[in-house]
Structure 1
């Protein structure tokens, strides 16, 4: 594939353009003109974050013309098996988690709150705008065609109660006995369920560990504890490790099938 600058533009905006021309926002125009220094008449790639990629030509500093709007240059179906990381928001480093999980290939990112969390003071409407911007930049950088979804923050127990039967959840733990690592859990779930599709989640806890109330809830509802490492990992390290294991499992599964 050609090595062209990429720009993520929402599918809603692309569907509403007229005469194949799309007007850029101030931030998009700054990126194209000042950061990437794209000249008029040059091509770039436009992606909608939902599997489609088009070629576009810069016709003005604030306007692009999309070639063959009805027929994308490239289209990629969404994965059958979707991957999710649910993370109790750490005191620092969450933005790095967003970048790296996006680059690795995670499909859903769920910010969580828990009893032993260090910092719970979040203005979520403002945070989600910034976090979505970070994810968008990581999608452009990594040349993914599907943009991950970042969901609104929830308390861990309330989030678990809201899962449906198409979602399988493992909970990472460090100091409790468990018979599984994440790889083993993934293989067992796939063989046991024998279902096509769904979301496979791994939950990363707070740096202070899960509370006794949370552990009791996990046990009562028969959630599987998994280990990511024989050592104690920071939240950011655990998130990247789990993301890599999930993604490699999906790659291996596709190769076998």
Structure 2
């Protein structure tokens, strides 16, 4: 594939363009004109985060033309088995988690809060716009065709109660001897492999650890504990480690089948 500059444009904007011309926002125009120095007449790639990639030509400083709008240059089907990371938001480093989980290939990112969370003053509604911008930039950088979804923040127990039978959830824990590691748990999920749209989650707790009330809830509801490492990991390290294990498992499964 050609090494062209990529620009992420939401699917809502893409489907509403007129005469194959896409009007750019001020930030997008600045990026193409001042940062990437794309000249009029030059081509770039446009991605919509829903599997499609188009070639587009810069016709004005604030306008691109997509000549083959109805026939994308490339289309990629969404993965059959989807991967999710649910993370109790740490005091520092969550934006790095968003970037790296996106680059690795995670499909859903769920911000959580819990009893021992260090940063309890988060305004999720205000943060979600910035977090989506960070994910969008990571999609462009990593050349993914599907943008991960970042969900609204929830309390860990309320989130667990809202899971359905299409979702398989493992909960990372430390200092617990009698539990699977994440790889082992994934290999035991064979009954769900043929369910299109199944989501395989790993939950990363706060750096202070789960509270006794949360542990009791998990045990009473037969939730599965897993370990990610023989050492104690920070939230950001655990999130990246879990994301890599999940993605490698999916890739290995596709190769075998």
Decide whether the 8 Å contact of 2:113 with 2:153 is kept in 1.
Answer: yes
Contiguous gaps of at least 5 residues in structure 2: none
Structure 1 counterpart SS, 2:188: helix
Query: Aligned equivalents of 1:97 and 1:124: distance in 2?
Result: 16
Within the alignment, does 1:123 sit opposite 2:135 as a pair? Answer: no
Structure-2 separation of matches of 1:57 and 1:13: 17
- What's the counterpart of residue 94 of structure 1? 94
Kept in 1, the 8 Å contact 2:81–2:193? The answer is no
Is the Cα contact below 8 Å between 2:56 and 2:64 reproduced in 1?
yes
Please tell me whether residue 145 in structure 1 is matched to residue 145 in structure 2.
yes
1:196 is displaced (CA, Å) by 2.4
Q: For structure 1, which runs of at least 5 residues remain unmatched after alignment?
A: none
Q: State the distance in 1 between where 2:155 and 2:143 align.
A: 32
The RMSD of aligned alpha carbons is 0.8
Q: How many residue pairs get matched?
A: 256
**Pairing 1:74–2:74 present:** yes
SS of 1:53 mapped into structure 2: strand
Aligned residue for 2:251, secondary structure, equals helix
**CA offset digits 1:133-179 (Å, max 9, x no partner):** 00000000000000000001000000000011000000000012333
**CA–CA separation in structure 2 for the residues paired with 1:194 and 1:43:** 41
Task: Output the CA distance in 2 between the equivalents of 1:123 and 1:112.
Answer: 12
- Correspondence 1:124-203 to 2 at 5 A: 124-189=124-189, 191-197=190-196, 198-203=198-203
